[in-house]
Amino acid sequence: MSSPTLISAGPTTAELLDFALRTTADPEIVGSLPLDPEGRTWVRLDGPGGSEAWLIGWPPGTGTGWHDHAESRGAFATARGRLTEHSLAVRLPSEGWKSLELTPDVDRRRDLTEGTGRGFGLHHVHEVLNESPAEHAVSVHAYYPPLPLIRRYSRSGQVLRLEHVERPADWQ
């Protein structure tokens, strides 16, 4: 069976976003996350339809760095605080490159306040940040299919470089 057939099964991006938004509105779930003033914290959740889901705490000034979720679609929503997403409005090749020169018009920024979220498709390259100098943020993330890998990038100006690939064993 080909990958697109497998990906078309399972929850849609809209269903993942609905799950993330409903979960951010549950004070018991959101309150169950231990917060660390130094680093991000996370707890695995039961996502809909076999998806992978996480409740994540973001201390002030923390972020993910540039990355994508490979062949998974996803969604995330802010439960507390405010998160900023920087993303690229272009689909990058999924393989066969180490460095790309981006055009100046591909950058997008979204500010996600409490109770707001967004969904995204395959190969969505972004970084998520808590830019607050003092306030923790908490968010819910869901991916389908469960993350096969995360590609990490560095960025200098308009140059994006593939730095390394993480597998589930690296973060679970």
Kindly state the percentage of the chain with pLDDT values over 70. Answer: 94
**pLDDT of 123 strictly over 60:** yes
Q: Determine the pLDDT at residue 164.
A: 92
Could you tell me the residue ranges of all domains in the chain? 3-90+102-170
Does 3-90+102-170 carry CATH code 2.60.40.420?
A: no
Give the angle subtended at the CA of 29 by the CAs of 28 and 33, to the nearest 5°. 110
Indicate the pTM of the whole model. 0.90
Q: Determine the pLDDT at residue 8.
A: 57
- Work out the average pLDDT over 129-143: 98
- Work out the average pLDDT over 136-155: 95
pLDDT tens, residue by residue, 25-40: 999 999 999 999 999 9
pLDDT tens, residue by residue, 83-117: 999 999 988 877 788 999 999 899 999 999 999 99
Closest CA to 57 of 74, 77, 33: 33
What is the side-by-side strand order in the sheet with 117-120? Answer: 41-46, 52-58, 137-144, 73-80, 117-120
Q: Determine the pLDDT at residue 5.
A: 41
Q: Token pair of 40, please?
A: 């991000």
